[in-house]
Structure 1
Amino acid sequence: MTHHPAQNRQETNQLYTSIDVISHGTITFAENKSDQSKFISIPPNASVQHVKELLFRQWCSERPPLVISVTGGAKDYNIKPKLLKAFRSGLLKVARTTGAWIITGGMNTGIMKLVGEIVQVNPDRSRPIHLIGIATWGCVSGVEQLAVHGSNVNYAKSHSNARGEAPLEPNHSEFIFIDDGTTRKYGGEIEFRAQLTQAISGGFFAPRSTCSVDIETPSIPASQSSRSEKPVPVILLVVEGGPFTVKTVYEAAVQNNIPVVFFEGTGRCCNLFAKAIRLYDDYRRNFEDTAEASP
């Protein structure tokens, strides 16, 4: 079925209305002038189903076979070269071979910046990787530039030393900004992000009564991406991180049944979670052994 540009615009505008879009347009980055990034700003109670429909039908044209949501340290840090190499090659390989979408916080700092740099070196430009940034509107440096309705914005803010804000990462292809009315207060997007990834998954992962340390990424053939009735596997990948990462893990795993992979060795809360899981597994094994030994 062929859609004419006028029909696509009408459908997009209808979705914008149903989502209660506050502002929308495209962004051209000084560091990436060859591509334009789509964006919307929406209230925190916007319909995740309608945003999902916008992604599937308008922005990305089709369902993804896999979604990798990456979270972690928002500040620049030095990751061990061996771990960095494994992370770079692994994420790029999965994204290229499966056509996976990648979701981050969208800022040009920490793990978000690193993911953007990974996508930038994608050797197959004919198959662009959808890198979606979900951020709090009031934490974006130069956000006043983005208060438009359908215009293209030449985003010129590449650095910021102000506390509570950061510039956008230029290799992201789509941005969703959550406008909760706050200024320079991180975390306003966390609940929406978890709910959206759950909506995209379509219930792929049923609720579980126990946790697993190792989570295998399901291998989904590319041909399934056109089967709208099929759910989409989603995982949360954690690299380093602090208090907001802990909340992101809670919203994903506890509130929305999204499996989590911790990249152990990257530090801070990621190592803490890995240690806690090992302690729990040791306790469970000891408890089971004791129960079996009891008459």
Structure 2
Amino acid sequence: MSRVYNELLLKHWSIPRPTLLISVTGSAHMIKGIQGSLLDAFRRGLYESAAHTGAWIVSGGLNVGVMKEVGKARRQYSSAYSDSVPVIGIMNMNEIQGSQQLDIDLRSYKPIEVNRSKTVQTEKGQDLGNALDPNHKFMLAVDGEDKGEKLDSWSTFEFRRAFGTYINAEGGGPGSKNVQTVSVVFNGKIGTLLAVKEMLCESIPCVIVAGSGGVADLIRLGIEFLVEKGARDESVLNS
């Protein structure tokens, strides 16, 4: 992880050290039935919050679901902030459309074409993965094995968690404070719920986007139920 953070991100890509890490998790499928005003508020709030705090934004980096909305946030608001926010995509290599192109002789210097179209399917309807989102500024592809949903693989989540843990410990440099991670939860399915559980167990605060549907609204309803019942005890909320 040290080589990824110090040598690749900080030295080779010249990304300024973060003061905060905003990890976006949630829907890895086409978002439907959500008000446009909510999506606009999400994109603007996400990017402006990162710009004002010196944060990095990390998502799954694919051109679908909440990851696509993260990319749109950079596209819409980066010019107002001199494109100062590092928007980083971390995905499982098997999720990427045309990932077989990356399985090449490392001695070859031929350029690799990136297909920015939507999901491609075979004649039998077999999913071949999604394109990378063109609006993320940096991409990290993890060569791991899927253990959950195809577009929310557990191996990728574990890498993102380790990535955040390392940056938390490394901090903003010598003599600086630790870098806090904050998770933003938008929509999502069972993989998102498991990810939220793991993050809360590590005392990572989660911001739930109310009205985004899926797991995010399920969590919101659960919290509202506990509060209405007067169950404010921490042991109850963690059960």
- Sort the TM-score into its range (normalised by shorter chain): 0.7 to 0.9
Judge conservation of contact 1:190–1:247 (CA < 8 Å) in 2: no
Q: Alpha-carbon deviation of 1:66?
A: 1.5
Q: Alpha-carbon deviation of 1:125?
A: 6.7
Judge conservation of contact 1:134–1:193 (CA < 8 Å) in 2: yes
Report percent identity of matched pairs. 30
Change (3 A) 1:127 1:280: same
- The amino acid of 2:169's aligned partner reads G
Change (3 A) 1:61 1:111: closer
Match of 1:270 among 190, 197, 216: 216
Residue 87 of structure 2 corresponds to residue 141 of structure 1? no
- The amino acid of 2:119's aligned partner reads S
Judge conservation of contact 1:142–1:157 (CA < 8 Å) in 2: no
Structure 2: unaligned runs, 5 residues or longer: 122-126, 235-239
Q: Distance in 1 between matches of 2:68 and 2:22?
A: 16
Q: Which residue of 2 aligns with 1:119?
A: 74
Based on CA coordinates, which of the two structures has the bigger radius of gyration? 1
Give the aligned length.
220
Residue 188 of structure 2 corresponds to residue 235 of structure 1? no
1:155 is paired with a residue whose SS is coil
Change (3 A) 1:111 1:61: closer
- The amino acid of 2:114's aligned partner reads Y
Q: Which residue of 1 aligns with 2:85?
A: 129
- The amino acid of 1:141's aligned partner reads Q
Query: 1:136-215 maps to which residues of 2 (within 5 A)?
Result: 136-147=92-103, 149=106, 151=109, 152-162=111-121, 163=127, 165-181=129-145, 185-186=150-151, 187=153, 188-202=155-169
Q: Alpha-carbon deviation of 1:110?
A: 0.8
Change (3 A) 1:179 1:200: same
- The amino acid of 1:91's aligned partner reads L
Q: TM (normalized to structure 2)?
A: 0.80
- The amino acid of 2:92's aligned partner reads T
Q: Which residue of 2 aligns with 1:53?
A: 6
Comparing 87-96 with 124-133, greater Cα deviation is found at 124-133
Judge conservation of contact 1:106–1:168 (CA < 8 Å) in 2: yes
Change (3 A) 1:88 1:180: closer
Query: 1:234-253 maps to which residues of 2 (within 5 A)?
Result: 234-253=181-200
Change (3 A) 1:56 1:281: farther
Supply the RMSD in Å over aligned alpha carbons.
2.8
1:135 is paired with a residue whose SS is strand
Match of 2:64 among 109, 113, 117: 109
Q: Distance in 1 between matches of 2:36 and 2:135?
A: 22
Residue 10 of structure 2 corresponds to residue 63 of structure 1? no
Q: Distance in 1 between matches of 2:12 and 2:134?
A: 21
Deviations 1:55-76 (A, max 9, x none): 2333344311211111111111
Comparing 52-61 with 167-176, greater Cα deviation is found at 52-61
Judge conservation of contact 1:198–1:258 (CA < 8 Å) in 2: no
Q: Distance in 1 between matches of 2:178 and 2:223?
A: 28
Structure 1: unaligned runs, 5 residues or longer: 1-47, 205-224, 289-295
The runs of at least 4 consecutive aligned structure 1 residues that moved more than 6 Å come to none
- The amino acid of 2:136's aligned partner reads H
Q: Which residue of 2 aligns with 1:86?
A: 41
Judge conservation of contact 1:194–1:248 (CA < 8 Å) in 2: no
Q: Distance in 2 between matches of 1:69 and 1:159?
A: 24
Q: Alpha-carbon deviation of 1:124?
A: 3.8
Deviations 1:8-45 (A, max 9, x none): xxxxxxxxxxxxxxxxxxxxxxxxxxxxxxxxxxxxxx
